[in-house]
Structure 1
């Protein structure tokens, strides 16, 4: 037996060498332009309601040099978990021909979730030719995960649909209509077909209607921009009373007389200044709220984006009362929200001055324009990467969890002095990473795909290079796919993080790796931003310069955890098209506490590492558990640590390029049998009976994996069907209301359960492949004893025939359910599915399959 087991491991080594070759030949994110097939992957909307159809648009161009016949495969992931089944669509393209392939995917019924869709193109022999990813936001409202953009060009016959299409591809889910209005105090003109704005630009009503219509088709929100407390010359003729005005106080050196702000030296309309009024004045509120509601009557706007020019010191009213404008924000905004009803409200406390008063108001989305010379309530300047993070964190805490949108205009002076120049790629990506990692969002992208460098949105001084466009697009895909780890209830931790090879700090200091921790109910998270080789930590890069961080690879990091860690994942917008990659780790303890030591494969700009107490489900790679089991329980000089590590590391690198069926399932079988051995023996020697069982099941599979020549079938067996691992390894999970525990089991030590006191839809499923065709019976012990579900059943599908459903009845005891199918394609998916209005359970144990 030992000789045969050595042979099996030699074949495993051959397989390892094969995988190494595969992983070296695949495309990376930065090599996308050199792909042979996929030109772009987009979706038809910016976000989706739960249960919507998602139209995935795969733009292909055949650059293989030959005519091509193959398949587009799409797999959905929520964080590290696969969701649902693979969606496939065959196609053919002549050499150099291009085409758009439409593939439909049904969004989850769970609200406020982010997904990454992995898109693979395979040839007729199932070889991977090209791959890409795209993010999908399933949210019924934009307010939880805002991604704010803008439009400003309302000239006649503007191609609004094309401009909205570009923003939709960045997943922008709300638009600010900048300077669309007639006058600040009178936003709606008497003539709704054409009017001039304050600067004399012509604005066409049909252009606004075209933008709104195209945005609605893409599920974007339309926000009408206007000042909260300002008017322009001629305001008295429109009913604004001078007695509502604000004046500089005697203690204010900023100016004298009526508080005003200069916009231009001269304009065709003669309008050059904004004049300000008392936000706390009830008559002014009634006036401006009434004018605001006229916007909603004239156009199908969804809300009001209300602006200020910031805090300018002590003011006084016409009757001599002194005040600071920011002190009135909360009361004004609460009154505004009540006045506009079900419309959205966004407000801009410029420079974050008075932001604490906005954070506790009834605004729907937080927004603040950041300037580096302003100071926070602690007296610190808003000029560094860390200052952006602090502002976002404070806003989240004070608002009860809202995500702050930050307009932070990059390379402002450089853009004004050098119009027509490109943005510095590093400057933009580092500022973006600083905001997104902290749980915020940017206001940076506008119509026709432009990026802001100035607070006057029509001023398009700088442009994005092709590389920057692609990298920013990947950042937006990333913040959509991982929105539930970035800004969905996470709180900051002070857990110790060490990077022995490089200096790291939690403050974003120059020439360091910026590291800090967060956590939520399910994960502990490390944000890691690369400032190595970056000499200044100023987010603005006002001179247009910023060094590219020194990319580093293969370095260790120690994280001192709060909760048990059994799996570690890395995701980055800079690598692997944002896919999650499982990392190997070891555990230890020292004077600082319990830690995991993680080998980080690379860091370019921004990595996010997330850790769970759940063990890996074994779908994407073997993980450290296999290494420990093989070394710990199989005594043989040939089964050595380096060999197993080579196999594990190679699978880590190549997992998303592997054949989705036999290889993945084979790894699960190998891991499951090694787990079985640990349960059956109490010492380091494996019994001959156990070795025989392992050999008979795994050796033919390893032979197949090693050379691909011998076609084999895999024995019909469900991985972790009794949940005796104490987790859900082997099962794909949709939903979050599932677990494994040792209470009220049918047999053994564990069972799986669904439960929540709130409405939920939950599914677990397992895909079996390379089965011998024939008749199979699947059985399970189930118990559904509380609540009344709308759906509760076992589902059998994917076997080449119509789906088979076995309803699970309500009852106080476990009962056996069974279903029989005729497998004609070597595949079978077994699922347990329950939907409920709440306070409903389901218990599952002893899932088994038998070939009849």
Structure 2
């Protein structure tokens, strides 16, 4: 439901070292040596958002460090290393499908290793296995360079699919035609000018980066001029049994129309809107349909006066849609989880939820993701549309970084993805709204969070069972509490994946609120903790313990020394800011 109702990149840090002038024995001044650039961080990029098995990855860096080494890793296992000899090179990952990898560039000085850059690689033949969903919302006249800049930025966050929000003309006839060809331009419902060429160029250039494109439209919606386009009044939902008042969603007076709600179960409506969708596919190479709804409509009736349970209409609509377009992807927004059990019983490709109150706590985000897992029999991963800094966005300024990162930490730790990135960052359900901006710190941090989501996707999003390991502080540096979160505590989330026990630590030590939306942008930065001794209750033989955090060394995994002391596994983690992941591997 996305309409208002009427009423860094890893930044390069350079240290310039100058040799001071000094007097020689004769008293004359020596000539200053030229500055020497000591590279402590570099930017690393790849050519695609994801890779098909067997395809080489092409890397680019902005600076060439002296004595740099490239290391390729799957989870904590080193696959290979090689000397870094140029600013462009290639690597072909193992051919196995649906795997995530971390690439590190490091140097060693006096036996001390320094991470200079990291990035992640997703080897997946189908983006819906690990969806990292973004959006586009502005389709006026744009140059190729402008479109390229938007897509390259999203590629750097590994966004592998995009929702084309409100790209079309009328909801009941999205692609405006001029005779037998698409019109060059049209107006969307808000009266904005849309360009066919911009939409087409976005789709084509996104595909060049292995980013999928999803056409946005309601599954039930028509404008007030519906009868001019062959839509029958018998296809609508009504507020009364005598079909006098069509159910509608009110929009501002300045917009072109309110949205009149059709009956998704009406097969004549299905055939009509499927034909209009086919017209889209004939002219624009969309990968599928992102379907939207408007939430619970209350008591509504079909034209003949029969009570209609709208959630139950989603099932036949989606089943018939898949039969009509078997090779296209589909997802339907479960607004506040409305109809999700009906939606996920059909052949949709992603579990998608737009989160509204009363689901305002961090626990609610986890509950939605786990609920979607259960409803889909653990076959679909979840994308959450969860709008940050909602009230702050009524003004201008910047997103509050701590609020965004804590919310992403929770969503990612529980295996979900967050719809938040497009031409700008989302703060409202009307996607073109762009009052708030991301500052440099947030841009840099989110690159690292999305790297982490990709590099460790086989632990975060590829099965497993959540559990509640018993872990305590061995030195009193942090207060640990099993999920859900509480003030002044570090929340503990456990998950068993094959022979691995995951322990997520999410730092709410300084939290000023447990409301994820951080609506006024007031969430506090958690106090950073270092070198903490932890005791994990354990009675199994352990082969390895390692740790990784998107807030520490670009997410590079660090193997930890450990001891079994009585019934406890004892180890020390190096750093915790927002979120860290401990992995215990059993023999």
TM-score, normalised on structure 2? 0.89
Give the structure with the higher percent helix.
1
Q: Does 1:103 align with 2:89?
A: yes
Task: Give the 5 Å matches for 1:227-242.
Answer: 227-242=218-233
How far did residue 480 of structure 1 move?
0.5
* Cα distance in 1 for residues equivalent to 2:283 and 2:482: 53
SS of alignment partner, residue 570 of structure 2: strand
Q: Is the 8 A contact 2:369 2:416 kept in 1?
A: yes
CA 290–560 in structure 1, closer or farther in 2 if over 3 Å, else same: farther
How far did residue 547 of structure 1 move?
1.1
For 1:527, the equivalent position in structure 2 comes to 504
How far did residue 323 of structure 1 move?
2.5
How far did residue 583 of structure 1 move?
1.6
* Cα distance in 2 for residues equivalent to 1:43 and 1:143: 20
Q: Does 1:77 align with 2:73?
A: yes
CA 122–552 in structure 1, closer or farther in 2 if over 3 Å, else same: closer
Q: Is the 8 A contact 1:43 1:56 kept in 2?
A: yes
SS of alignment partner, residue 128 of structure 2: coil
Residues 549-581 of structure 1, C-alpha deviation per residue, up to 9 Å, x if partnerless?
Answer: 122223333323475322111110000110111
How far did residue 130 of structure 1 move?
6.5
Q: Is the 8 A contact 1:505 1:512 kept in 2?
A: no
Residues 22-62 of structure 1, C-alpha deviation per residue, up to 9 Å, x if partnerless?
Answer: xxxxxxx999534643441110000001111100111117x
How far did residue 90 of structure 1 move?
2.3
How far did residue 548 of structure 1 move?
1.1
SS of alignment partner, residue 322 of structure 2: helix
For 1:352, the equivalent position in structure 2 comes to 337
For 2:467, the equivalent position in structure 1 comes to 493
TM-score, normalised on structure 1? 0.62
CA 218–330 in structure 1, closer or farther in 2 if over 3 Å, else same: same
* Cα distance in 1 for residues equivalent to 2:138 and 2:584: 45
CA 258–561 in structure 1, closer or farther in 2 if over 3 Å, else same: farther
Q: Is the 8 A contact 2:11 2:444 kept in 1?
A: no
Alignment partner of 2:135 out of 150, 170, 186: 150
Q: Is the 8 A contact 1:175 1:223 kept in 2?
A: yes
Residues 89-110 of structure 1, C-alpha deviation per residue, up to 9 Å, x if partnerless?
Answer: 425xxxxxxxxx1110112101
Q: Does 1:60 align with 2:95?
A: no
Q: Is the 8 A contact 2:132 2:159 kept in 1?
A: yes
Alignment partner of 1:540 out of 514, 517, 524: 517
For 1:258, the equivalent position in structure 2 comes to 246
* Cα distance in 2 for residues equivalent to 1:266 and 1:30: 43
Alignment partner of 2:147 out of 153, 160, 179: 160
For 2:35, the equivalent position in structure 1 comes to none
Q: Does 1:200 align with 2:191?
A: yes
Q: Is the 8 A contact 1:311 1:324 kept in 2?
A: no
For 2:81, the equivalent position in structure 1 comes to 86
Task: Give the 5 Å matches for 1:248-287.
Answer: 248=239, 257-267=245-255, 271-287=256-272
Alignment partner of 1:604 out of 537, 557, 577: 577
* Cα distance in 2 for residues equivalent to 1:87 and 1:587: 35
For 1:429, the equivalent position in structure 2 comes to 405
* Cα distance in 1 for residues equivalent to 2:347 and 2:539: 35
How far did residue 602 of structure 1 move?
2.2
For 1:186, the equivalent position in structure 2 comes to 173
Residues 689-724 of structure 1, C-alpha deviation per residue, up to 9 Å, x if partnerless?
Answer: xxxxxxxxxxxxxxxxxxxxxxxxxxxxxxxxxxxx
Q: Is the 8 A contact 1:511 1:535 kept in 2?
A: no
Q: Is the 8 A contact 1:249 1:322 kept in 2?
A: no
* Cα distance in 2 for residues equivalent to 1:57 and 1:297: 37
* Cα distance in 2 for residues equivalent to 1:126 and 1:600: 20
Q: Is the 8 A contact 1:509 1:531 kept in 2?
A: yes
CA 132–259 in structure 1, closer or farther in 2 if over 3 Å, else same: same
Task: Give the unaligned 5+ runs of structure 1.
Answer: 1-28, 62-68, 92-100, 251-255, 374-380, 615-852
Task: Give the unaligned 5+ runs of structure 2.
Answer: 1-8, 16-37
Q: Is the 8 A contact 2:295 2:334 kept in 1?
A: yes
For 2:18, the equivalent position in structure 1 comes to none
Q: Is the 8 A contact 2:104 2:115 kept in 1?
A: no
Residues 269-317 of structure 1, C-alpha deviation per residue, up to 9 Å, x if partnerless?
Answer: xx23000011111111111112112111110111111111111322111
SS of alignment partner, residue 361 of structure 1: coil
Q: Is the 8 A contact 2:240 2:300 kept in 1?
A: yes
SS of alignment partner, residue 348 of structure 2: coil
* Cα distance in 2 for residues equivalent to 1:302 and 1:79: 31
* Cα distance in 1 for residues equivalent to 2:472 and 2:70: 38
Q: Is the 8 A contact 1:507 1:514 kept in 2?
A: yes
CA 339–563 in structure 1, closer or farther in 2 if over 3 Å, else same: farther
CA 332–603 in structure 1, closer or farther in 2 if over 3 Å, else same: same
* Cα distance in 2 for residues equivalent to 1:562 and 1:285: 58
For 1:459, the equivalent position in structure 2 comes to 433
Task: Give the 5 Å matches for 1:683-702.
Answer: none
How far did residue 266 of structure 1 move?
1.3
Larger deviation, residues 280-289 vs 128-137: 128-137
* Cα distance in 2 for residues equivalent to 1:533 and 1:72: 38
SS of alignment partner, residue 85 of structure 2: strand
For 1:565, the equivalent position in structure 2 comes to 542
Q: Does 1:141 align with 2:141?
A: no
SS of alignment partner, residue 171 of structure 2: coil
* Cα distance in 2 for residues equivalent to 1:119 and 1:263: 52
Q: Is the 8 A contact 1:48 1:107 kept in 2?
A: no
* Cα distance in 2 for residues equivalent to 1:583 and 1:31: 28
Higher RCO structure, 1 or 2 (CA under 8 Å, sep 6+): 2
